[in-house]
Structure 1
C-alpha cells in the first residue's frame, strides 16, 4: 500500500478501520491473547487521557509520573518488595511501567546481564571491553513466552532451555541446576505459563541457587515472569513465597 495522494475525512478513516476490525477475532470470545475482553466506559475514558501524555517528559507531566509511581508502589508492596535506601527521599520503588511483556522481559534480562557482567569482569580481572566479548546464558523453561526471543537476539544472550516435568508441567530445581554455569545471568521462573497456567516452583529454585552460589561462588538470581500469575498468586491461600521475600528474586 502506498501513501495516498490526498487525505480522507475523519469519518471515512474511522469507518475503514472499523471495517478492518470487524474481520478480527471478537474480543469477548478471546480468552488466550492477554487482552482485555471488556472495558467499562470509565476505563476507556481513562485510557484516552493517556493519549495526550508523554510520560518521558517528567517536567511537563509531573502528575502522570506521580500516578505511575503510585501504581508501581502498590505492585511492589503486593509482591513484598523491600524499600530501597532512598525511598524516603524519592518516594518511589525502583521500577518502570512497560507497554507490554516484550519490553518487560528485555528490561529484566538486560538488568540480569549487566549485573552478571560486572561480577564476571571482577572475578576474572577483565576490562569492560573484554567482558563484552563473553556471551552469557539464561536458563528458562521451554514454556517460555516468545518475547524472550528478542532478548536472545538483540542482547546476545544464549538460551538454555529446560523441559518441564511431565507430571506437573513445571520446572524442577534439579533439572535447572544442571543447566547453570558461571556464565548464567539468571533463571527465569514462570508464574503461570500460557499453556495451562502452571507455576514453576520459584521457592525450590531459590533454595537450590542459595546452595549452588555458596558452593561455586556464583551470583545467579531469579526473574519471575509473572505476567499471568502476578495478580493471582498474592490472593491464593497457602501459596509458598515466590516474590521478593525470596533472597534471589
Structure 2
C-alpha cells in the first residue's frame, strides 16, 4: 500500500547531513533505503532532531485532542519504563498489577456496579477499544440468536453519521452493517427518535458518543437509554448501548458529574475512553470497561501460556508498551479527583471565553461554546457577502503558527463548513488572547480583499476528525 509523502521536501532520494557533525562518507544518506554503512549514534540523532524542527509547535495545534505535554516526573517515568512489555506479566508483574488498578479506578469513575469485579483492559488508543467493544456486542448478539434458533448472519450497529471513522472501520472489518442515523443542522447528533427508527432484531447495539469530534457536544445517552428501555418493555427487543467516550470519558466525571451517561444506566454494557486525550497521558493508551463480566463472551478471552506464565488476554495486539499505562496511574495518583477537576475547569473556562469573544464578531455564528467538552466550533454568519471563507481564515492563522482546522460537517449536513478549537491542558488564557488577536487581525485582512483568493492559494490540507 502506498501513501502520499508527508511533505514536498521529501522528493529527493537522499538526505544531506551537516558536515559539522558528520564523519567523512556520511554527508549524504539514502532517504528511502537502508544505508550500507553504520553511522555514529550522535549523527543519527542530530539528523533526525534537525528534521523534526520543521514540525509544528504542539501548543499552537488546536486541532488535536491528544495530550502533548506532561510533567518532568512523568517524562522520567516514561524513559524508565520504555522497555516494559505489558503482556509479559511474568517479567513485569507490577506493571500488570498497575493496569488492573487503573481498570478498577476507571470502573469506579464510571459507576460500575462492582468495581472490584469489573472487566476491562488497556488498549492502544480508543480505536482498539472500540473494536473490542463492538466485537463483544456482535458475539453476544450472535450467541443469543443461535440459542433462540434464529439467523445470526445480518448484524447491524446503530450510530449517527457524526461518529469517528473507527466505527466505519469496525463495521467494514467485522462484517456488520453500519446504520448511520442522519444528523441535521438543528440536531447534529444522535437522537432517541433516530435510534428507534433504525434499530431492529438484528441490531447488536447502539453507540452514542460522549463528545463528538466535530463539535465536542455530548450525545443524549440517558435519553437514548430511556427510549430503548421503553422499546424493550413494549416489544421485548433488548438492545445494549456502548458509549464511545473517547474524549468525554475522562472529562465528564469531573466537570459534569450530574450527567447520567455511564454504568448508572443499566442499558450501558461497555464504555471506551482515550487515556491520551483528557486522561492527560502521552499518545498510545486507551481503555475499555464492561459493566459485567458476562458481557464479554468467553470465546473472545484467550488463555495463553507464554513468557513464563499463564495469562488471560483480550485484545487485538499482543506485545505492546506498558509505559503509557504507568503514566495513566501516575496521573491518577498525582491529580486525584480534585486535580483533574481543576485542570479540566481551566480548559473549559478558556474555551467558554474564546466562544464568547468569537460570538461578539458579526462574522461568526458559534455552534458549540465549550460547555460540554472544552471545544469551540463556529461557522460564518449568514447574510453577508464575503470574498473569503473559513478555509482562507484557517490558512491565514496557519501563517501565524496556529493549527485551527476548517472542515465540512458530516454527511447529511456536509454543506456546512465550520472551524474548531480544542482546548487542552497547557493552552492558557494568555495564549487564548494571542489567538483571538490573530483571528481579529486575519478577519480584518480578509475583509479588505477586493476579490476572492486564487483557488491554488486557498487550498488547504484536508482535516481528518
What TM-score do the two structures reach when normalised by structure 2? 0.49
Is there any run of 5+ residues in structure 2 with no aligned partner, and where? 1-31, 269-465
1:162 match: 181
Cα distance change on mapping 1:220 and 1:49 into 2, 3 Å? farther
- Aligned position for 1:213: 232
Deviations 1:197-243 (A, max 9, x none): 11110001111111222333333111111111112211235733110
Instruction: Kindly indicate whether the alpha-carbon contact (under 8 Å) linking 2:155 and 2:202 is maintained by their aligned counterparts in 1.
Output: yes
For residue 113 of structure 1, the aligned residue among 125, 133, 138 is 138
Give yes or no for the alignment of 1:6 onto 2:37: yes
The answer on 1:173 being equivalent to 2:192 is: yes
Task: Specify whether residues 186 and 20 from structure 1 end up closer, same or farther in structure 2 by C-alpha distance, changes over 3 A only.
Answer: farther
Within 5 Å, give how 1:43-192 maps onto structure 2: 43-83=74-114, 87=116, 93-125=118-150, 131=152, 134-192=153-211
Which of these two proteins has the greater Rg computed from alpha carbons? 2
Q: TM-score, normalised by structure 1?
A: 0.88
Paired residue for 1:196?
215
Residues 15, 146 of structure 1: alpha-carbon distance in 2 compared, 3 angstrom cutoff: farther
Residue 22 (structure 1) aligned to one of 29, 40, 53: 53
Task: Give runs of ≥4 in structure 1 deviating > 4 Å.
Answer: none
Deviations 1:42-73 (A, max 9, x none): 11122223321111111111100111111111
Q: 1:35 to 1:20 in 2, by over 3 A?
A: farther
Specify which structure has the higher proportion of strand: 2
Identify the residue that residue 236 of structure 1 maps to in structure 2. 255
The 1:157–1:25 alpha-carbon spacing in structure 2 relative to 1, beyond 3 Å, is farther
Aligned-residue CA RMSD (Å) = 1.8
Question: What is the number of equivalent residue pairs in this alignment?
Answer: 237
Residue 165 of structure 1, CA deviation: 4.5
The match for 1:33 is 64
Higher relative contact order (CA 8 A, sep 6+): 2
Shift in CA distance, 6/152, structure 1 to aligned 2, threshold 3 Å: farther
